[in-house]
Structure 1
Amino acid sequence: MYLYHADALALGGTVVRPVPDIIESQVACSLPTAGGTASSRSGRFEYKGLISFESAQSSLTGNVETRNGVPFNVTRVSVVIEGLNILHMVMADRIVARLAAEHGPKEPNRPSEPKILTTGCQFEGLRIAGHAATVETDHGLFAKFPTYFDWQTGWKGADNGTLRNCIMGNTLPAALDPARPVHFQEIHRGFTEQRDAPELKPIVLSSFVKQVTGINSPEIDCWGPIIVVPQFGTIYLGEVVVSSGQRRVNMLRLELGSPDAGTFIIGSTGGNGSGYP
């Protein structure tokens, strides 16, 4: 008996200014623990001129695949968003979020957990503050370390530097301006604590985005997957939350700053699964 777990949403968040409000999760769906399929689809969505998309769809599957007589529990999660527009400052033709997990027989000297890949996550036609942005990704790293156990082993061994370089915040300046917002300070603190720790934390915030090029304005700060646009906010690209037996991808997390304030999550997928306890 296997207990599947997967969920997805196209968009959701909260607004602090100008008027406090909640943006309900759009195109959200959840996979039954028995497996099967789930999907959701929407046409055009707009919230008060702040954020909109032309269409979005999410899709989940969970089933058993037999390979050479060996059963594997396989879960696939995807979200596709087309025509995203956030205050005409962040726009994208298409955003694709994808997770693929497989849970095979337990291997010797390893905990039982699924191997989870981010391959297929992508941004098409991304524009930030009027600049055509090119996003360089590294899904190969997450294929090389598909489980939390692999991360733990790599962190304590020769791959420490490789893993450290994909943790969110590794590209930030060593001395951070204390005037930066709280979420920014937390990213900096989280990276610093993990960098100096001999063991991997239970939850690690990383990114499959190596760098973003094409933004050629001196007032815009580009630190790998983190982009800060004055009087707009901070953009976090390609977040991957790593924990034991589980992954979550947030294609885009936006922390709006003055005059509008709030937090938006765009293209979020999560997945794991386990055998019967």
Structure 2
Amino acid sequence: MSATPTLVARAGTFFHRYANPGRFLKLGARLQPWLTWPALLLTLAGLGWGLFFSPADWQQGDSVRIMYVHVPAAMLASAGYAGLAVCAVLSLVWRHPLADLAAVEIGPVGACITALCLATGSLWGKPMWGTWWVWDARLTSVLVLFFLYLGHIALIRAFDDPQRGYKAAAILALAGAVDLPVIKFSVQWWNTLHQPDSITLTGAPTMSSSMLWPLALSTLGFSLGFAAIVLARTRAAVMESRIRSLLSSPRRRGGSASGDAA
């Protein structure tokens, strides 16, 4: 009976280790170049290889090259929202002070990558299906994800009291996480136009290595880039929060008042 509270307490201690803004900023400054530069190099290498040197598909022709942008965007759309759900748990359960700031910054990045996923999917769908959009289960569930991102962005900024916005947005993030397994398994649960996943954890890839390697490089580059952007935005948010705290501190206000009186 006591194991669960102890485990929760230990997890809280681990997560709060980097709750100190100064410690987080130091760690973030060290990680930033290790995320940014590999992201740029891997993305350029993956896209260059995939768009210009990988073979065309025997059925889809050159239109398959959209895959090197669409697939990483689709994966990160779901991964970004999963990050929002993790931040929500950290905020609601452990009151982690940086979780709310991270959620604020993940939202816009996740919405942009989801919009890119929808746009590239539409470009891919036109030559394959003969239309820009169908109310396919996979497409519709990703569109719902995009609206969830927009709802989270709006809700977290909708209150004069930031804490109320953080809490409401955290609840939305947890509720919206139900859409993630729908996105993942929609092609298995329903008869859809969208093709099944070519890469799974339980089986061998159904594409040739000449396509798989550039896709892997592009996906890794996009993932590191997503993390680099979120980290940079969160660092900026933490620094902005610290500046606000310094400007609004009683000592600061008292010093300003004394200066004005003098």
What TM-score, normalized to structure 2? 0.30
Larger Rg over CA atoms: 2
Larger relative contact order (CA 8 Å, sep ≥ 6): 2
Higher helix share: 2
